[in-house]
Amino acid sequence: MEESPKPRRLLPKDSSEIEAIADLQTARLALRWALERIRAVESERDALRGKSETESREKRAALEDLRALQRTFNYYAAKLQESEVLAKTLAERLETARAEAAPEEAPAAPSREDLESPEVGAGALSLRQSYKERLSALKAEHAAELEALKKSLEEAASRTVRKVQVLAQEERERLEHQVAHERESRRLALASLESRHRAELAALAESIQKRPRL
């Protein structure tokens, strides 16, 4: 029994098939190059992402600083409230002092003769005048304390508000500048990456065009 002839290896029939094979090899090279470029772009993207995460941490730190300033403001606001409570306490003390300054009731009612005596009249007048002067002094002292406390609290609150406003404005400007800088940096990085990618594609296309066809 005769053996069947082995199939011959098919060869290109004409130059068009040879060109097709060459184009296939070129396409494979282009795909390999594209894969390498994709990996490079992904690597650069990961690097930019890491930079973005670092910048995000810096933003969070700046926000924490701003929250600390807000806590400082709340602290001084609470101090102001405590001072108002103290002022109320001083007012209550004044009322207590007024009550203590009032003449105490005598344990026994004096007789009419005693009340009409010149000594008792002079003593009562002197005592009344003494209590009146004491009450006036307490009123003046209390008013001075309240005025000084009010002025001190207003100055402290004003300084705190101004400080918080200045720091908040500085922080806002810093964050705006940082965001603008980050946006510009990303734009330039992407533009550079795109330009480099286009140049490499153009170089590859030119190389393919200059390659002699078989």
Sequence spans of domains, the chain: 18-101+117-210
38, 54, 162 from 27: Cα distances, Å = 16, 40, 68
C-beta separation of 18 from 12 below 8 A: yes
Instruction: Return per-residue pLDDT of the chain as tens, 214 residues.
Output: 444 544 444 444 445 544 555 555 666 676 677 677 777 777 777 777 776 677 777 777 766 766 766 676 666 666 667 666 766 776 677 677 666 655 554 444 555 555 455 554 555 566 677 767 777 787 788 778 778 777 877 787 778 778 878 887 888 888 888 888 888 888 888 888 888 877 887 777 777 777 665 5
For tokens 């946006």, name the residue. 183
